[in-house]
Amino acid sequence: MKALLLAGGLGTRLHPLTYNLPKPMVPVANRPWLEHLLGLLKRHNISEVICSLCYRPEIIMNYFGDGSAFGVRMQYVIEKTPLGTGGAIRFAEHLLDDTFLVFNADIVTDLDLTSVVNFHKQNRAKVTIALTWVDDPTAYGVVETDTSGRILKFIEKPSKDKVTTNFVNAGVYVFEPEILERIPKGRPVSLEREVYPSLLAEGIPVYGYGSKFYWMDFGTHKRYLALHGDIFQGKLRLEIQGKRSYIASDGTSGNSIFLGDQREQVIIGHDAYVHPTSRIYGPVIIGDRCIVHANAVLGPMAVLGPGVIVGEGSYVKHSVIWAGTRIGARARLDRVIVGENYTVEDGRELRSMAVAQY
């Protein structure tokens, strides 16, 4: 089976972090989210991947190439202008000749893709939409189904007194190829507002696979930090590069481990150095080649990307620091996201914000 990843979004709500970076390439626990997503696909025996790109496509193409280094076969389609969720699918039709998966590439999830595909086939659906349960569906478009899972109607952002279900569209779909011709060609098209309502009106079988699973759109600074908190708390299992260490006094070589089994831990990457007088309060991820100087304090819940330098006497907590950043001496960072290759000056205090050079 092929998977079509919709990876052309601008990620404007994550600015300034995504001024020069496609949103699916934002690092999650020190790897681009798109790389984690490929791992999810592989675990469900999906190894043929098509990426639909628009903003800064060369960054994704240069990183993944033909996909062989990541255990998949990658192909690309590049939109000159954004075509929306439906238009992007139609634009890739020449590569889609059988049942295929569609995935909004900026959605973080551990959805059981095999179960979704099996459900789709068992019901002989033409489209299946993965539905996730949320506590408050009023900010989303809810999806009503009958007892078999066949979708009856979509309700966009209902008021609390009109809520009849807590299941919402999770941004993951299974399509039969004959649906492609029902998507208008050559213009922006929304699946949610145009294609799906049209299919329901025609009586075409569209089903919803409802389940409880991890799901997050990390498209804001607050959600991005919350995502890392969820990883540290074991709500989402991801493969993390590094070696687990409870007293990290210097860097050692290590293998990939799964973070999420224990809450109090430090993951330290290859060739990283942590000064013996520093204090580390797990959970913390220290990337490859990081340097943590004397009397620095890390954690709880801090992520240092590869090559980050933390100056003497500084502290970093509840923050994610991207690769190559230098944090000066006696700096204070709390609930902060720092973009790549940024310099935090000596003594600077940053709280509840995102900074990046662009």
Torsion 204-210-214-220 (CA) sign: positive
State the DSSP string of 172-234.
EEEE-GGGGGGS-SSS---IIIIIHHHHHHTT--EEEEEE---EEE--SHHHHHHHHHHHHTT
Report the SS3 class of residue 53: strand
Place of tokens 């090559």: 307
pLDDT of 118-149, one tens digit each? Answer: 999 999 999 999 999 998 888 887 899 999 99
Among 322, 343, 352, residue whose Cα is nearest residue 226: 352
Q: What is the pTM of this model?
A: 0.91
Neighbours of 355 (CB within 10 A): 17
Tell me the CA distances in angstroms from 205 to 19, 116, 279, 285, one per residue in order: 40, 15, 58, 46
Q: How far is Cα 217 from Cα 169, in angstroms, rounded to an integer?
A: 12
pLDDT at 238: 85
Report the SS3 class of residue 352: strand
347-351: long-range pairs with CB below 8 Å, 24+: none
**b/e sequence 97-113, b meaning 16+ C-beta within 10 Å:** eebbbbbbbbbbbebbb
Q: How far is Cα 75 from Cα 64, in angstroms, rounded to an integer?
A: 10
Q: How far is Cα 27 from Cα 320, in angstroms, rounded to an integer?
A: 9
pLDDT of 215-268, one tens digit each? Answer: 999 989 999 999 999 999 989 988 887 666 543 334 433 333 334 444 458 899
Give how far the C-alpha of residue 37 lies from the chain's centroid of Cα atoms, to the nearest Å: 7
Tell me the CA distances in angstroms from 125 to 28, 141, 174, 187, 208, one per residue in order: 34, 21, 9, 26, 10
For the chain, report the end-to-end CA distance as a whole number of angstroms: 39
Give the mean pLDDT of the chain: 91
Tell me the CA distances in angstroms from 126 to 87, 142, 284, one per residue in order: 18, 20, 45
Q: Which pLDDT band holds residue 158 (cuts at 50, 70, 90)?
A: confident
pLDDT at 142: 87
* Percent share of the chain, pLDDT over 70: 94
CB-CB contact of 86 with 190 (8 Å): yes
Label residue 259 left, alpha or beta by phi (over 0 means left) and psi (-120 to 50 means alpha): beta
Where do the domains of the chain lie, and which CATH numbers do they carry? Answer: 2-217 (3.90.550.10), 239-355 (2.160.10.10)
Rg of the chain over CA atoms, in angstroms? 22
